């Protein structure tokens, strides 16, 4: 089997026994938990759209490893067209869910690990690439969700992994055995972790020669003994527990962030893809970060499309859309959103083939893309809040609208323009609230800021990748400081 249906995906989670905690309590049936289920629905959309003929070319592709039809989320990019289709697929899913659909991290990790293991083997004669290729074939043939896992706890961030007072601040190998390794540590901010079948762990940053224990890459099933999951809190998350779902804003979908603790977890050798090769840790980190920064030019744009649509609708309902300043503000939202998309497409179109055969984006343009993502969604959200008006944060609860005594009065004084009902206005305001300051803001705003690295991480990469001396030479030739050999005619 190469493709799961959405229902088969959800059913596959029911068989998994995870050591999961939320709000200080153990969670057994997490699939039907009202806090967690919206994030599962969002992930399931990556399967549902792959079933639909309308989206087949975007959501599915022929595997370069097996020749079988697979979900694009398990694919190794084989061309710049593949890279661009990835961004288009992510925008589509953002439009369909209005939130983080969580499956991108694994796809980005696959492509980074595939090319990096190839180059490690070329230098050291190891067999990591063969191991990883077999692993990825298994993932493709079973259409699994794999959570790419990078961000460590990091402790004192002024110190490298080997200098930490607590060596477990960065995930590390604590024992090497004949049959495998034992690892200990914690990975934070793990998007969609308990909605995944597998975990692909990567080092968090560059390692020094004496930090071999921290230069480790491996994969394990999510239900591996010794792994503890702690569910992350989000703004307004308990609204999902309420009977009337209108106040949640996004009534069907949501994101998920997990603290993932590895408490002496065993990993067999066939699942180990880096073991002490510190000189390749930077390559792996930068390649994964580059792919993931490209991703934000798709997923955040799709959510932006949803927010722009909500802003247009609420101004219609308020009877103010024809005002010139309202139209101009919505044009600005569109301009910012399409600029993000353009960056995602540009870094894809300028991609190149790696030594291993898969394609990597243009790293400079991918970092430019993510740098814009740290800013533009905040301005789009600000404009949406401006257009929504003060009722965005003073609207009574859904229970008040349903109350037999005060409900009719609440509806009367929140009636929208024309024949648009009070309930339509209520639902739109809650959606804008969700995306710009509620649960949805975790993915649309905070994730835009810190996901795939903080803004400063991109600026560091930009400073490394931009050839300023070349630009200086261009200017000096044009103004005559340097001889211009291009002028050779008489």
- pLDDT, mean of residues 100-117: 98
Checking if the pLDDT of 466 tops 90, the result is yes
**Co-location of 462 and 344 in the same domain:** yes
Checking if the pLDDT of 418 tops 80, the result is yes
191 annotated ligand-binding residue: yes
Please state, as a whole number, how many other Cβ atoms lie within 10 Å of the Cβ of residue 264.
11
- Three-state secondary structure call for residue 135: helix
Residue in 51, 84, 83, 87 with CA at minimum distance from that of residue 69: 51
**Co-location of 30 and 93 in the same domain:** yes
- Three-state secondary structure call for residue 323: coil
Query: What's the domain range around 411?
Result: 284-467
- pLDDT, mean of residues 50-68: 97
Residue in 236, 196, 175, 230 with CA at minimum distance from that of residue 397: 236
Checking if the pLDDT of 420 tops 90, the result is no
End position of a domain, from candidates 279, 301, 325: 279
**Co-location of 247 and 290 in the same domain:** no
- pLDDT, mean of residues 29-57: 98
**Co-location of 251 and 353 in the same domain:** no
Output the domain CATH number for residue 309: 1.20.140.10
**Co-location of 190 and 252 in the same domain:** yes
Bridge partners of 181?
Answer: 176, 267
Distance in angstroms (rounded) separating the CA atoms of residues 377 and 367: 16
What is the reported pLDDT for 434?
98
Output the domain CATH number for residue 87: 2.40.110.10
- pLDDT, mean of residues 105-114: 98
Residue 372 Cα to chain centre, angstroms: 16
- Asked if the structure places residue 481 within a domain, the reply is no
Q: Which residues are catalytic?
A: 100, 104, 191, 257, 292, 296, 299, 447
- Asked if the structure places residue 474 within a domain, the reply is no
pLDDT digit string, tens, across residues 385-399: 999 999 999 999 999
Q: Which residue has the tokens 């996901």?
A: 451
**Co-location of 216 and 310 in the same domain:** no
- pLDDT, mean of residues 346-363: 98
**Co-location of 251 and 317 in the same domain:** no
**Co-location of 37 and 168 in the same domain:** yes
Distance in angstroms (rounded) separating the CA atoms of residues 341 and 17: 39
The pLDDT confidence band at residue 488, using thresholds 50, 70 and 90, is confident
The pLDDT confidence band at residue 82, using thresholds 50, 70 and 90, is very high
pLDDT digit string, tens, across residues 207-238: 999 999 999 999 999 999 999 999 999 999 99
Helix or strand (DSSP H, E) at 227: strand 227-231
**Co-location of 72 and 29 in the same domain:** yes
The pLDDT confidence band at residue 486, using thresholds 50, 70 and 90, is confident
Checking if the pLDDT of 490 tops 80, the result is no
- Asked if the structure places residue 487 within a domain, the reply is no
What is the reported pLDDT for 64?
98
Distance in angstroms (rounded) separating the CA atoms of residues 18 and 24: 15
- Three-state secondary structure call for residue 488: coil
Q: 372 and 339 in contact (C-beta within 8 Å)? A: yes
End position of a domain, from candidates 279, 305, 329: 279
- Asked if the structure places residue 164 within a domain, the reply is yes
Q: What is the mean pLDDT of the chain?
A: 97
| Burial (CB count <10 Å: 0-12, 13-18, 19+), residue 225 | exposed
Distance in angstroms (rounded) separating the CA atoms of residues 12 and 415: 45
**Co-location of 166 and 119 in the same domain:** yes
Share of the chain above pLDDT 70, in %: 100
Give the helix ranges, DSSP H, for 318-450. 324-349, 363-373, 376-388, 391-394, 398-402, 407-412, 422-437, 439-441, 447-450
Number of folded domains that form the chain = 2
- Asked if the structure places residue 485 within a domain, the reply is no
Enumerate residues 6+ apart whose C-beta is below 8 A from 30: 13, 18, 20, 36, 194
pLDDT digit string, tens, across residues 329-354: 999 999 999 999 999 999 999 999 99
End position of a domain, from candidates 254, 279, 304: 279
What is the reported pLDDT for 487?
86
pLDDT digit string, tens, across residues 126-151: 999 999 999 999 999 999 999 999 99
**Co-location of 144 and 202 in the same domain:** yes
Q: DSSP characters for 143-204? A: T--EEEE--B--SSTTS-GGG-SSGGGS-EEEEE-SSEEEEEEEEEEEETGGG-SEEEE--S
- Asked if the structure places residue 266 within a domain, the reply is yes
What is the reported pLDDT for 90?
98
- Asked if the structure places residue 473 within a domain, the reply is no
What is the reported pLDDT for 2?
81
Checking if the pLDDT of 39 tops 70, the result is yes
**Co-location of 247 and 338 in the same domain:** no
Distance in angstroms (rounded) separating the CA atoms of residues 280 and 282: 5
Q: Regarding beta strands 146-149 and 198-201, do their DSSP bridges make them parallel or antiparallel, or are they unpaired?
A: parallel
pLDDT digit string, tens, across residues 297-318: 999 999 999 999 999 999 999 9
Checking if the pLDDT of 1 tops 80, the result is no
- Asked if the structure places residue 402 within a domain, the reply is yes
What is the reported pLDDT for 489?
77
């Amino acid at each position: 089997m190469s493709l799961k249906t959405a229902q088969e995906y959800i059913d596959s989670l029911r068989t998994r026994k995870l050591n999961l905690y939320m709000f200080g309590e153990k969670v057994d049936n997490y699939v039907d938990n009202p806090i967690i289920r919206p994030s599962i629905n969002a992930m399931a959309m990556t399967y549902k759209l792959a079933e639909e003929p309308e989206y087949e070319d975007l959501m599915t592709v022929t595997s370069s490893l097996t020749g079988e039809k697979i979900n694009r989320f398990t694919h190794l990019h084989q061309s710049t067209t593949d890279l661009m289709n990835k961004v288009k697929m992510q925008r589509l899913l953002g439009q369909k869910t209005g939130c983080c659909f969580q499956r991108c991290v694994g796809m980005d990790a696959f492509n980074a690990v595939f090319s990096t293991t190839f180059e490690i083997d070329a230098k050291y004669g190891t067999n990591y690439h063969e191991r990883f290729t077999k692993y990825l074939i298994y993932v493709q043939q079973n259409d699994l969700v794999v959570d790419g896992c990078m961000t460590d706890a990091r402790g004192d961030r002024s110190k490298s992994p080997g200098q930490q007072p607590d060596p477990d601040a960065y995930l590390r190998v604590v024992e090497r055995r004949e049959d495998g390794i034992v690892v200990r540590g914690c990975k934070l901010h793990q998007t969609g972790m308990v909605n995944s079948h597998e975990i692909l762990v990567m080092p968090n940053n560059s390692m020094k020669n004496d930090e071999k224990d921290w230069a480790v890459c491996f994969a394990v099933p999510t239900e591996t003994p010794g792994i503890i999951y702690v569910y992350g809190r989000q703004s307004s998350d308990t609204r999902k527990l309420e009977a009337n779902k209108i106040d949640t804003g996004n009534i069907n979908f949501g994101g998920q962030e997990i603290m993932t603790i590895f408490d002496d977890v065993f990993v067999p050798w066939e699942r180990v893809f880096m073991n002490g090769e510190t000189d390749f840790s930077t390559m792996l980190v930068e390649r994964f970060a580059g792919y993931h920064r490209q991703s934000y030019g798709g997923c955040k744009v799709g959510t932006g499309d949803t927010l722009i649509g909500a802003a247009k609708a609420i101004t219609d309902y308020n009877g103010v859309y024809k005002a010139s300043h309202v139209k101009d503000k919505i044009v600005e939202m569109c301009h910012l959103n399409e600029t993000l998309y353009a960056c995602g497409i540009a870094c894809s179109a300028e991609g190149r083939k790696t030594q291993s055969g898969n394609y990597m984006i243009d790293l400079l343009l991918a970092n430019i893309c993510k740098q814009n993502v740290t800013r533009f969604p905040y301005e789009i959200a600000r404009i949406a809040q401006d257009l929504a008006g003060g009722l965005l944060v003073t609207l009574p609860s859904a229970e008040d609208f349903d109350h037999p005594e005060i409900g009719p009065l609440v509806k009367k004084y929140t009636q929208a323009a024309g024949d648009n009902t009070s309930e339509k206005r209520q639902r739109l305001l809650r959606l804008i609230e969700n995306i710009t300051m509620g649960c949805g803001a975790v993915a649309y705003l905070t994730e835009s800021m810190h996901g795939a690295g903080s803004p400063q991480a991109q600026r560091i990469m930009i400073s490394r990748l931009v050839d300023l001396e070349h630009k200086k030479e261009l200017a000096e030739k044009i103004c005559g400081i340097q001889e211009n050999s291009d002028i050779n005619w008489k």
